[in-house]
Each structure stands twice: as C-alpha cells, then as structure tokens.
Chain A
Amino acid sequence: MKEERRSARIIESPAFRVALLAILTALTAVFTSVVKIPIAPTRGYLNFGDVAIYFTAFTFGPVSALIAGGVGTALADLLSPYVQWAPISLLVHGLQGLVAGLVAAIPWRSKSKVFNLFWLVAAVAGTAVMCGGYLAGGTLMVGFGAALVELPGNLLQNLVGVAGAIPLTIAVRQAYPPVTKLRW
C-alpha cells in the first residue's frame, strides 16, 4: 500500500512526466526512422513506429501514446527527407495512440493478465484511425488515387505494429516489472 502511494506520488511529479514523455518520444522517433524491416518484393521498408505507438498505448496509457506517438513520428519526419508529412504524422499518429490507449485502458481496472484481449480491439481502432487519417491527408496532398495506393502498405504497417507491440509489451513487463507503475 505504501509502495503504491509512493509510486502514485512519483507519477504525479511534473518532472517525472516530462522525463517519461521525452524518453518515449525519442524511442518512437528512433523506432520510426531507424528500426526497419526490408520488404523484398517492393524493395520498400516497414518501420517500427507503430510498434512503438501501440507499445506506449498498452503500457503507459492514452496520454503518453498521444504525445509520444504524434510528436515522435513528426520528429522522425522532420529529421528525414519527408518533412512535408510531419504535420499529418503529428495529427494522425497522435490520434492513433490516443484512441488505442483509451480502448486498451477500458478493462484495466479489472484483474491483471499477461495478455489483454482488449489490446487487439485497441489495435483495430488504432489501425482505422491511422489508415483513415493518412487516406484523408494523402488525398489533400497527392489526390485520392495516389493516397489509395498507400492503403495496403499502411494496413501491413499496422499489422506489423500489433504483431510486434503485443509480444514486446509482455516481454518488457517480464524483464522490467516496475514499468507497469509508470502508467498515467
């Protein structure tokens, strides 16, 4: 009980929240811009930005996912040659993280489990927000036809994101149990 009160006080500290969000934002930016899997048929790459967003949403909550997801991916775009996508990434990935975090948080007050079925529901909701957001933003920038071509890639990106985020969440909780107390 005493330990829980101490953990709650630490989380409420502005300095701790700033530090937490800054580290998560930097992690998301690195996952988006550096951690990649090449896809042989198209010679393209899948990045791990969505893995970071879903991991943050499942582990740290909706507010952390909103800020880390939006700002982290926008920073990755700013540091890459695709600067023009930064505003759209900020909005779309921020909303993706927020929605996924809110949905994943619904059964949180119940007994804890290693795997939470609502993570899959949260991932579906996040995927809908991300794909819909990029379709809308892409339509403004490059037209509906060219934006539609990106849709299968975005769906695959989210599938990889969920497939990576769930085992990553379980593995990090097992490797570093105090991480569960950093949620707010």
Chain B
Amino acid sequence: MITQVYRKKGPSAFHNFDPRTKIVLLLAFLALFFLPIPVAQLGIYLAVVLLITSIFLGIHNTLRPIRLILPVLILVVLLTPPFHRYGTVLVSIRGFTVLSLPGLLETLRLIVRFTGITVIFYLFLGTTDQDNLILAFRWFGLPFTLSLILGIALEYIPTILMLYNQVQDAHRLRRAGTEPDSEQAPVGAPSRTAAAGRRSRGESKGLFRRLADAVPVLTSVIVLSVRRIPTLAMALECRGLGRKNRRGSHRSLKSGRSLLRDGTIALVVVAALAGSVVLFH
C-alpha cells in the first residue's frame, strides 16, 4: 500500500517559501562558505544564517543539528593544527609546534564552514516537502524519468520498512521458539518467546555472526520487494508511461505573485551576499 508520510507543514513563512528559490539560496550560501574570504567575514555570515534559522525554526531546532555535529567539530579542532604547523607559532612544547596561526585560522574556517553548511541544509531542505523538492528539481531540468523514480522510491520506503520489520520479527520469534531454554507458555498467560527473543538480542555476538543472522532476513525482504516490480510496472503502463502521447501534470508549484515575491527576495539576498563579499574582501 502506498502511503504519504512525508508532509512537512510548519508555522513559519519559510516553510511556504517557493522551493525553487530555496534551492537558489542554498547554492548561493554553499558557494559563500567555500570562498577564500577572511574567517571573521565567514563568521559574520554564519551568525546571519543562525539568526535566520532561529527566527524561522526556533532556537531549539537551530541547536539540534549543531549538537549532532559536535563530535566532528571536536575532531576538526584536534586534527587540523597538526597538518598546518608552518607560519607564526602560537603554542609549542619543547620546540614542537602544537598550534600555529595558519593552523588556528584554518581550524576556525573549517568549523565555520561545516557548521554553516549543516545549518543551511537543515534550514532549506528540512522546511521543504519532498514532493515540492522533486517538482523544483523538475523545473530546473531533472528528467521526468528520474523524478518519477525519486517520487516512487519515497513512496515505497515506508512499505519496505514495514516488510523489513515484519520479516525481522518473524525470524526473531522463530529463533526464540527454537531456543533450548524457552518454555511453552500456558494458554492465556503472557508468552515467554518474546522475552527469550529479547534475551537473545541482548547477547553479545561477533560482527560477522550478526551479519550471518541478517542475511536470511535481508534475502526475504529483497525477494518480497523485487516481486512487486512487475505489478508496479503494469500500474505505470496503465497510467501511460512509455507511450508517445503528451503526459499530463496533476501537481505544480505556485506561480504568479507569490513566485515573483519569493524570487525577488532570493535575488536581493544573493545580490546582498555578493556585494558584501566584494565590499569587504
């Protein structure tokens, strides 16, 4: 059964912003964080991005992606200076340069870049419906066949996930039922096979033993999925895929005043970014 599970409706105006203009702004900010401009200037742009994200998504949602990348940022702090030990020495231990000025600047640049990229992806793609995103890609020239593959794949992910959970539960219960210490529960009493299954799951196993246990489950999931292909292909053919007549379109992105408004805002922002880079460089 095909279900719609990817609806992202938020209260902010940014959620309703045209996805085409969002893609343009995303690319503009992405390019910005890779420009060879001073770190302080990059930091200002990061602050602007964080401010915009806080306004539209709230501070809690703004800090969420940053919390997730904290371990990577710590790695950047620890492992970038050793590869930049030239230039003015800031910290040295017994003649060994631990931190140099170029190393510090490069570390800061990478932290600002990675944080900025993470937040802008979270802001732009996290506030856009997958359906609208695919339509936006179509508008930019993504072939219809590829957009159809994307759309159908998104619809089928919950189905395959459901299959995987069902097959996994079936295998787990079968394993629990054949364990030597599992007891036959009396009728009406809570079954002990599930508890035995949980115990077997908690036992430590080698990596390749776990892999070997996963192969039967994955085989079943793949066979069940591949068997759906002919039915899906017939459904697509019934809807006219592969025929030479002009195809219809039943969903489209907004046009008119709202597109003009969103496009103007995007152009102004891109012009402001470009102007600030030129002005302060």
Contact = CB atoms under 8 A, between A and B. Distances in A.
Interface residues of B, number: 66
A18 B236 contact: yes
B257 interface: no
A126 interface: no
Contact of B214 (A14, A26, A72, A164): A164
A15 B237 contact: yes
A164 B221 CA distance: 14
B110 A142 contact: yes
Contacts of A19: 152, 229-230, 232-233, 236
B177 to A, nearest CB: 22
A145 B221 CA distance: 39
Contacts of B204: 40
Given A26-B153, A30-B164, A145 B82 contact: yes
Contacts of B96: none
Interface stretch (A101-109, A117-125, A127-135, A171-179): A171-179
Interface string A76-101: 00110111101000000000000000
Interface string B204-222: 1001101110111011111
Given A13-B233, A26-B153, A75-B153, A141 B218 contact: no
Contacts of A46: 207
A84 to B, nearest CB: 4
Given A71-B153, A78-B125, A164-B214, A35 B68 contact: no
Nearest to A12: B242
A22 B83 contact: no
A15 B229 contact: no
30 contacts: A22-B232, A23-B160, A23-B225, A25-B149, A25-B153, A26-B225, A30-B157, A30-B160, A31-B218, A34-B164, A37-B207, A37-B211, A48-B214, A75-B150, A78-B125, A78-B130, A79-B157, A83-B122, A141-B110, A141-B113, A143-B83, A145-B75, A145-B82, A149-B79, A160-B207, A160-B211, A167-B215, A168-B218, A175-B223, A176-B223
Please list the 8 inter-chain residue pairs (A to B) with the smallest Cβ-Cβ separation, ordered nearest first. Answer: A145-B79, A22-B152, A25-B153, A19-B232, A26-B156, A15-B236, A19-B233, A14-B242
